Amino acid sequence: MNDAVLSPPPHGVAGGPKVLLEVFGCQMNKLDAELVVGALKRSGYDFTDRDEEADAVLLVTCSIRDQAEHRVHSHLGEISVAKRARPDLAVGVLGCMASREGESLLKRWPALDFVVGTRDFPSVATVLDEVRADGTRIVAVDGSPQVSEEREIDVRPAKSRAYVTVMRGCDKRCTYCVVPNTRGLEVSRPMEDIYNEVHRLVDDGVVEVTLLGQTVNAWGRGAGNSLGDLLERLEELDGLRRVRFITSHPEEMDDRLIDSMANCHKAGLFLHLPPQSGSDAMLRRMARGYTADRYREIARELKARIPGVQMGADVIIGFPGETDADFESTVELVEEVRFSQAFLFRYSPRPGTPAWGRLADDVPDDVKRARLARLQKIQAAIQEERHQTLIGTRHEVLVEGQSRRNPRMLFGRNLAFDRIVFEGEPSWTDRFVDVEITDSTALTLSGKRVEVVPAACP
């Protein structure tokens, strides 16, 4: 949910026009970028990560906070300068900013050739073809809600892992959030579609899938299904070892899902369940549909029924009207639930949201910053304490790769989604390794290999 990354591997049709794809924002965007790569590859495009050899630059963008859009605008500033020297360079903005701003982006940036919204990715290759052929400027932002999930299964972040969209859009109206504007109403994919896609991924070496949806635990409700049914269906798939899912909504939590998480051995021992605040007044004003006590009840239930389960949080700090007492209620909730990880955000008013123009952004920035720093410190202490208790325990780690800072070190994750660092061979990447935790800080768990489990994928 943060860094601009050069996403999918730069491979495609050798000799075709070269596309530089840059991805900002959340996991959903990274997966959308994979769909874009697939569509462009099918149309004969190649990929590069070097500015100077690109024929087209495409930015997959995020609108969630002001800062995210800011970074894209400053990047467009740089690209505009480059385009003066290379007028043939095709420049496109894809995703949430395109959906939110549409044509006005083209007005603001003369160097921009096209915008393609979150539901229009299937048309990206046609749009790019047209732009390159005759220089027309194109706005494609009104696609159908039934987004095709046609994907190239080999375009994914790792041999052993893949993300799978199970639903798009969001039916909630949290007052701070642009997502319903940028991604539209909720549409779930049918169970068999998802099963077949996961099956193909598993046949290609994937052992861990992460199911993606804005309110993923509301998956399937139109068809009378629950996410629990999907977990149970995927449990049957030989070769698949882990199923994760993000992001869940507290209002959509039910016993059925908790039962399935408890019964399915492949289900990750981690639930990303953003409380957003611990103050009932704030939760009401955010239109979240639950109280802090209801949230506590869900957390208690989960921990009682699923041994070892961890929870992850998103918290918004300085939402309109947040008093010291409201903030203290959030501190209390965080201290009580003891999340294994938490993303903490300062409130950023977003145009077009229900709060925009209705709820004044009245918590001064220095107060937001001070509250944020305090909660960060509290959360760090909670993580540090928890990490200490893990010293001496053993974990089955799916290795994701070499640590950037020290190539002799590998990192990977256990079933509870803890990131664990340990010394090993690069060839262990994409395999399961048993690791014993030997050391920890607030941010990291480090350990040593105990025994290599026979590889689940070649």
223 φ, ψ (degrees, to nearest 5):
-95, 10
CA distance 452 to 163: 25
Q: Distance between CA 288 and CA 276 in Å, rounded?
A: 9
* C-alpha neighbours within 13 Å on the C-beta side of residue 437: 23
Q: Which is nearer to ligand SF4, 245 or 422 (CB)?
A: 245
Q: Residue 23 CB, nearest distance to ligand SF4 (Å)? A: 19
- Judged by CB under 6 A, which stretch of 173-181, 189-197, 222-230, 399-407 contacts ligand SF4? 173-181
Q: Under the criterion CB under 6 A, does residue 182 sit at the interface with ligand SF4?
A: no
When asked if residue 348 is in the footprint of ligand 5AD (CB under 6 A), the reply is: yes
* Closest by Cα among 304, 277, 313, 317 to 293: 277
- Output phi, psi for 292, to 5 deg: -65, -35
What 3-state DSSP class applies to 79? Answer: helix
Residue 313 as a binder of ligand SF4 (CB under 6 A): the answer is no
The answer to the question of residue 249 lying near ligand SF4 (CB under 6 A) is yes
Tokens of 206: 């994937």
Q: Which range of residues in 49-57, 98-106, 343-351, 443-451 is near ligand 5AD by CB under 6 A?
A: 343-351
Residue closer to ligand SF4, measured from CB, 119 or 249: 249
Work out how close the CB of 344 gets to ligand 5AD at its nearest, in angstroms, rounded to a whole number. 8
Using CB under 6 A, pick the residue from 347, 417, 428, 432 that binds ligand 5AD.
Answer: 347
411 touches, from ligand 5AD, ligand SF4, none (C-beta below 5 to 8 Å by class): none
Residue 65's binding partner out of ligand SF4, ligand 5AD, none, with CB under 5 to 8 Å set by partner kind: ligand 5AD
**Cβ neighbours of residue 427 under 8 Å, at least 6 residues apart?**
none
Smallest distance from the beta carbon of 292 to ligand 5AD, in angstroms? 15
Name the residue nearer to ligand SF4 (CB basis): 341 or 402.
341
Q: Minimum CB separation from ligand SF4 for residue 211, in Å?
A: 16
Least distance (Å) from ligand SF4 to the CB of residue 457? 33
Q: Is 424 in the site for ligand SF4 (CB under 6 A)?
A: no
The CA distance from 78 to 82, in Å, is 7
Least separation, in Å, of the C-beta of 97 and ligand SF4?
Answer: 16
Contact between 177 and ligand SF4 by CB under 6 A: the answer reads yes
Three-state DSSP at 346 gives strand
Q: Shortest approach of ligand SF4 to residue 245 CB, angstroms? A: 14
Residue 134 identity? D
- Give the residue with the Cβ less far from ligand 5AD, 276 or 330: 276
Pick what 153 binds: ligand 5AD, ligand SF4, none; C-beta below 5 to 8 Å, kind-dependent.
none
227 near ligand SF4 (CB under 6 A)? no
- Cα Dmax for the chain: 64
Interatomic CA distance for residues 322 and 362, integer angstroms: 8
Q: Is 174 in the site for ligand SF4 (CB under 6 A)?
A: yes
**Residue nearer to ligand 5AD on the CB measure, 119 or 350:** 350
68 binds ligand 5AD (CB under 6 A): no
Q: Could you tell me the smallest distance in angstroms from the CB atom of residue 386 to ligand 5AD?
A: 22
Q: Which x/- pattern over 185-224 shows residues binding ligand SF4 (rule: CB under 6 A)?
A: -----------------------------xx---------
Tokens of 95: 């995703």
The Cα 407–Cα 213 span in angstroms is 34
The tokens describing 163, both together, are 């993300």
Hey, CA dihedral for 118, 123, 126, 130, is it positive or negative?
Answer: negative
DSSP state of 455: P
Determine the Cα–Cα distance for residues 426 and 212; give it in Å rounded to an integer: 28
Q: Which phi-psi region, left, alpha or beta, contains residue 26 (left: φ > 0; alpha: ψ -120 to 50)?
A: beta
234 binds ligand SF4 (CB under 6 A): no
292 CB-side CA count, 13 A: 21
Looking at residues 261 to 320 of the shown chain, list those that interact with ligand 5AD (rule: CB under 6 A). 274, 276, 314, 316
Binding span for ligand SF4 by CB under 6 A among 45-53, 119-127, 175-183, 361-369: 175-183
Let me know: does 143 contact 123? Beta carbons within 8 Å: yes
Q: Which two tokens stand for residue 60?
A: 């997959």
Tell me if residue 1 falls in helix, strand or coil: coil
Among 180, 228, 275, 318, binds ligand SF4 (CB under 6 A): 180
Task: Between 64 and 218, name the residue whose CB sits nearer to ligand 5AD.
Answer: 64
Q: Which of 296, 290, 215 is nearest to 257 (CA)?
A: 215
With tokens 């995020």, the residue in question is: 62
61 binds ligand 5AD (CB under 6 A): no
Q: Are 319 and 176 in contact (CB under 8 A)?
A: yes
Q: Could you list the residues that contact ligand SF4 (CB under 6 A)?
A: 170, 172, 174, 177, 179-180, 214-215, 249
Q: Could you list the residues that contact ligand 5AD (CB under 6 A)?
A: 1, 64-65, 176-177, 274, 276, 314, 316, 345, 347-348, 350
